[in-house]
Amino acid sequence: MNSLLYKIKKNFSNRAAGSFILFNVVLVIVFVFFYNSGVNKIVSKSIEQLHNRQELAVSSGAKSIRLFLDMAKNSLLLLSQNLSATNSRDFQDALNDFAQDWSQTPVKGVVLFDKSGKLVSIASNAGSTASENTDFSDREYFGWAKAASEGDTYLGKPIVPRVNSPEPEYILPFVTPVYRNGEFDGGLIMAISLNKLISTYMEPLKFTPKSISYFIHPDGTILAGPLERIELVGVNYFEYLKKKSYEGSQFAYEQFAKAVRSEKSGKLDLILFSLDEQKPIRYLISYSPLTFGDQHWIISLATPYDSLYTDLGSLRETGIMMFSAIVFFILTLSIIGILLSKSNQNQGSTPSANQQNT
């Protein structure tokens, strides 16, 4: 009788141990499935929220740039008034002081030209130089300056500087006329580096090291971008996209073109052909119009989707590994406990020879 009970207990113990182990294995599989599904939803939602935050960041950057341009305009007007009030023809000290005051900003320097458009003096923060016979009379802003009233300012179209610059770039020419004794006597040009404008006001807003900031003309020309991609300055991205054919390229071109010409901020989730990696990449793009005076541009931040997904997706792997480690630890302890229990049962429950003969 005792032998029969022993066999029943042994079989039950083995089945219980097997069921417990199977239960833990199924529990791990079920958890991984639902955890992975849940984390994917969380990651997707988090990326959407980051995209929204990036859009707000770009809008904030556009406002900061407009404030900077306002301050630059007012400062240039003050310099013009100071030069108009002095009888000295030596303006170099005043120009040097002005350039020094703006040396930690995107202002590259300031140029004074006479009433015929010839260079009078230059003060640079970036090592730029110009020959004595440099002539600005063919620039659009010179024609504007001749017809402008004292105290007027003009922000010209982005141009490649005529003075010698250490690196290829576009500048924004801020111009105001200089009057002496009520007559036009020349003008001042404040040169603002678009590359430095982007690096100062947009680069700090990036969400990942792989995010890219651009300053784009409505015709698709990249006017400024990251300093490490200086070779992209001057590239017309519309023309570039037309030459690249990949799945979804036409849709990407249409949406990108619409965004660049927009007067409202927005965001895009597009597969665009990467200029530096030479392959189609999914980007989360946020853009905002930047209008000042008669000029209109778009500033944007583009973040590769994979860079965000990789960073956030690592949470899933970490969670699964932690849970698996905990379950493995519990499973190991359970198996050890079962083995010890079976050992005790073998020692305490096995019927003696006398009991078996009874």
- Give 54-103 as a DSSP string: HHHHHHHHHHHHHHHHHHHHHHHHHHHHHHHH---S--HHHHHHHHHHTT
Q: How far apart are CA 134 and CA 288, in angstroms?
A: 36
pTM above the 0.75 mark? Answer: no
Cα 106 from chain centroid (whole Å): 19
Per-residue pLDDT at 272: 84
Residue 14, amino acid: N
Q: How far apart are CA 274 and CA 241, in angstroms?
A: 10
Q: What is the pLDDT along the chain (358 residues), one digit of tens a residue?
A: 555 444 545 554 555 555 656 666 666 666 566 555 555 666 677 777 888 888 999 999 999 999 999 999 999 999 998 887 765 556 788 888 999 999 999 999 999 999 999 988 888 876 666 666 788 898 999 999 999 999 999 998 888 876 666 566 889 999 999 998 888 999 999 999 998 999 899 988 888 888 889 899 998 898 888 765 666 778 888 888 888 788 888 888 889 889 988 889 999 988 887 766 678 888 899 999 999 888 899 999 988 888 776 655 455 556 556 666 666 666 676 666 666 555 655 555 555 444 444 4
Nearest to 267 by CA among 297, 237, 288, 291: 288
The CATH superfamily of 44-67+197-309 is PAS domain (3.30.450.20)
Which residues fall within 8 angstroms of residue 240, CB to CB, at 6 or more apart? 273, 275
Q: Which residues pair with 208 in a beta bridge?
A: none
Per-residue pLDDT at 26: 67
The dihedral built from the CA positions of residue 352, 353, 357 and 358, taken in this order, carries a sign that is negative
Q: Where are the alpha helices (DSSP H) in the chain?
A: 2-85, 92-101, 140-147, 194-201, 237-243, 249-260, 305-349, 353-357
- Which of 15-25 are b and which e, b meaning 16 or more Cβ less than 10 Å from the residue's Cβ? eebeeeeeebe
Per-residue pLDDT at 309: 62
The CATH superfamily of 90-193 is PAS domain (3.30.450.20)
Q: How far apart are CA 199 and CA 47, in angstroms?
A: 24
Nearest to 319 by CA among 25, 23, 37, 44: 37
First to last CA, the chain: 10
Q: Are 288 and 58 a contacting pair, CB within 8 Å?
A: yes
Per-residue pLDDT at 132: 67
Q: How far apart are CA 287 and CA 264, in angstroms?
A: 9
CB-based burial label for 343 (10 Å; 0-12, 13-18, 19+): exposed
In the chain, which residues fall in CATH 3.30.450.20?
Answer: 44-67+197-309, 90-193
Count of CB atoms within 10 A of residue 335's CB?
Answer: 14
Residue 175 vs residues 74, 145, 156, 183, 191: alpha-carbon distances, Å: 11, 7, 8, 17, 9
Q: How far apart are CA 191 and CA 170, in angstroms?
A: 10
Q: Are 207 and 54 a contacting pair, CB within 8 Å?
A: yes
